[in-house]
Structure 1
């Protein structure tokens, strides 16, 4: 079974600012809850994402258990969208599409995640009991951080 997670958020900034933030792998840790212990483990130069970029990291998504995750950046459309796809990790498959749409208030950022759990029936059960809530928590945390970064007036 393929699951779908969608979110959107208005960012009160220009496209260059939004793109620079989201196209830097180094900002992933800033928008990931601290309890997940997100660490990029391969050497990533301070360059924006590009098609074919591989990002290896360690995370502790549940119960403090550390696991490795490898993603590949695909389909980069500069200042419009990009997709990261899991090559190795906790899901049977994971594809995260990021889209940036200019509007009169700045940038509407949309996320569409399609993912599938491993282990058949057991994976679906774990999804219903734990994973779905954990992903909602991660995206809610991300929303709050991005509100502070992009939508809080600085005085």
Structure 2
């Protein structure tokens, strides 16, 4: 299996505690997910994430084909780090690290995603499509977070 990597950084113009408060609440996931993904949490609501927490949801990455997805929060170290890993879903491997660090002007959030696709050679053929889709999802999230918490100051 070929493992792919996506890394994204974003400055959030809020203190690290506020960033943790927002990202540590699974109920906020739908707010930062594009509507066309049909994202819906199906597990009982919890206001706080914790190691071992399982979150179930459905997504519709391709029109008309809902997919069940189960992730586990495998690590959570407030307010700096948590990891979600797919236990069942569309990927063969999904390991998503979320890092938060206090920096001048707010909190730097770094996402590091390692993922692998199922279906062998067929999966490798659709890598560019999946990469574009993931980039679009993270770009949507970037815009939502900038609208919610403010845009980074422009360099002179």
How far off is 1:132 after superposition? 1.0
Tell me the distance in 1 between the aligned counterparts of 2:109 and 2:3.
Answer: 23
How far off is 1:127 after superposition? 1.5
Tell me the distance in 1 between the aligned counterparts of 2:125 and 2:92.
Answer: 15
Equivalent position of 1:131 in the other structure? 130
Per the normalisation by structure 1, the TM-score is: 0.94
Tell me the distance in 2 between the aligned counterparts of 1:63 and 1:40.
Answer: 18
Tell me the distance in 1 between the aligned counterparts of 2:52 and 2:63.
Answer: 32
Tell me the distance in 2 between the aligned counterparts of 1:61 and 1:93.
Answer: 17
Q: Do structure 1's residue 99 and structure 2's residue 91 form an aligned pair?
A: no
| 2:115 match: secondary structure | strand
TM-superposition CA deviations, 1:20-62 (whole Å, max 9, x none): 00000000000000001110001122x2110000000000011
Equivalent position of 2:66 in the other structure? 66
Q: How many residues align?
A: 151
Equivalent position of 1:81 in the other structure? 81
| 1:61 match: secondary structure | coil
Equivalent position of 1:151 in the other structure? 150
Q: Post-superposition, which runs of at least 4 consecutive aligned residues in structure 1 deviate over 4 A?
A: none
| 2:124 match: secondary structure | helix
Equivalent runs, 1:36-47 vs 2, <5 Å: 36-45=37-46, 47=47
Tell me the distance in 2 between the aligned counterparts of 1:75 and 1:26.
Answer: 18
Equivalent position of 1:31 in the other structure? 32
Q: Do structure 1's residue 9 and structure 2's residue 23 form an aligned pair?
A: no
Which sections of structure 1, spanning at least 5 residues, go unmatched? none
Equivalent position of 1:114 in the other structure? 114
Tell me the distance in 1 between the aligned counterparts of 2:17 and 2:59.
Answer: 29
How far off is 1:126 after superposition? 1.2
Per the normalisation by structure 2, the TM-score is: 0.94
